[in-house]
Structure 1
């Protein structure tokens, strides 16, 4: 979480998660999970219509892992510069450092953060977070190490993108629409 003293971007999403085109809105989040050593998972995803685009696993919650996941997402979506794309997150300090903010600007991505004390501001990404926790983290654990979590993430993302039928997009997998989600693991 933020200490509150660092300026933050405005909330450009305002709980309005419906978008009309691919690469209009990416949501990102990270959470801590036990995996041998403490690990945290960060993920971003393209809301229209959804699919995992980038993710990272790390043993420390520094800002570098969210930047790595952003780079993976840009590569996956083949986006050198994307005007009109909003990247929305909570107020975590990992999303504010200059390198991360500068990379968003370089890619033409508008930063957005949820409002203070609003549990619904990140509701959609928290739904994916809960799904991941229920289907991966809490099922086979306890995890031996971070590499085991990373392999489980690769398998889950592949299943989510290529085989999971999502009702909001016509009961097809996200890969059939050309859009994907982004996950970062830490």
Structure 2
């Protein structure tokens, strides 16, 4: 047999041959045992078997069993290190397609243990685990399948479900729940211009004591089949709320102005807001700076080539892309606009929790200040 010859004649290890052949190691060990027990002539290709031989038929049946065993072991490999109850559940799920006796043998559990498990009354611990799994799955679905175990743990904590983050992570792995975010990044704005730039007043002090004290502004891009769609956003540093945003097919100062106007109209801030952006020509333009003066807003700009000076708003755009843009293919700009509008207004501001504000949503955190006022 070719695989046996690789091990015996060429000196390769079982693990190495298993990787090359796409087999489970346990299957190879069984094949070696069969080879030693029956001798080399018991395998096809030895020239000593006749088509009608009973030995040939027995051998073909044994090979089919071994191939079937390998398929099961490859699929259930992770179960071999888990609790017997999980192995029993796997056997129960596949009992209509496979022989129960074989499944029990391959996965290293007794047949009597399996049948006892099928008639056993469900334990209180098992019922509690199912209830926890239900809460975890619901929180995961509510997050649009975007949260990992830390945020799922915080959501359960807010709901009064007391469980450790480690347990949440383990249950999510066993249920196959994994965040579907995708990581990519690309810079967009053009800072190569001769327009005057503001001093870096913020200086990476990413803290604010109350809403409408510091606003962060930036532009990002969204690919569609019709071409680029550009998004300008204004974020409140205190609440992490997207206070204003606007989208257009061109990256102009009007794009940024409309986002700023929306933020000012909706938030109605008092005088003295600090507005921080990069050195992009849109923000450095005379018209944009004039609008800041009219609103009595102080301008601040990042240092040249320093992406960390505007990290908070760039972080939002990164999250937007990981949680929405890279998970969808937009045919038109209108389709992208609708999805982004819904994501920002409904999900990001209204439902998505943030670790930096005590695992509250931006709207919830903003309301805490309104109550105090």
- TM-score norm. by structure 1 comes to 0.89
Decide which of 38, 42, 47 is 2:232's aligned counterpart.
42
Q: CA deviation at 1:175?
A: 0.8
Contact 1:86 1:111 in 2 (8 A): yes
In structure 2, what is the Cα distance between the partners aligned to 1:160 and 1:32?
A: 18
The corresponding residue for 1:184 is: none
Structure showing greater Rg: 2
Unaligned segments of structure 2, at least 5 residues: 1-189, 368-373
Task: State the superposition RMSD in angstroms.
Answer: 1.4
Q: Structure 1 segments of 4 or more deviating over 3 A? A: none
Q: How many residues get paired?
A: 176
Contact 1:45 1:51 in 2 (8 A): yes
Unaligned segments of structure 1, at least 5 residues: 180-186
Contact 1:27 1:89 in 2 (8 A): yes
Q: CA deviation at 1:117?
A: 2.1
Decide which of 339, 353, 365 is 1:152's aligned counterpart.
339
Secondary structure in 2 matching 1:34: strand
In structure 2, what is the Cα distance between the partners aligned to 1:27 and 1:48?
A: 10
Alignment of 1:72-151 (within 5 A): 72-79=262-269, 82-141=270-329, 143-151=330-338
The corresponding residue for 2:350 is: 162
The corresponding residue for 2:191 is: 2
Q: CA deviation at 1:31?
A: 1.8
The corresponding residue for 1:29 is: 218
The corresponding residue for 1:56 is: 246
In structure 1, what is the Cα distance between the partners aligned to 2:364 and 2:296?
A: 26
- TM-score norm. by structure 2 comes to 0.46
Confirm or deny that 1:15 pairs with 2:204: yes
Q: Between Structure 1 and Structure 2, which shows a larger proportion of helix residues?
A: 2
Secondary structure in 2 matching 1:53: strand
The corresponding residue for 1:65 is: 255
Contact 2:219 2:231 in 1 (8 A): yes
In structure 1, what is the Cα distance between the partners aligned to 2:266 and 2:204?
A: 26
Contact 1:57 1:146 in 2 (8 A): no
Distance 1:40 1:19, change over 3 A: same
Contact 1:14 1:121 in 2 (8 A): yes
In structure 1, what is the Cα distance between the partners aligned to 2:312 and 2:365?
A: 19
The corresponding residue for 1:177 is: 365
Secondary structure in 1 matching 2:303: coil
In structure 2, what is the Cα distance between the partners aligned to 1:119 and 1:54?
A: 21
Secondary structure in 2 matching 1:176: helix
In structure 1, what is the Cα distance between the partners aligned to 2:284 and 2:301?
A: 10
Q: Between Structure 1 and Structure 2, which shows a larger proportion of strand residues?
A: 1
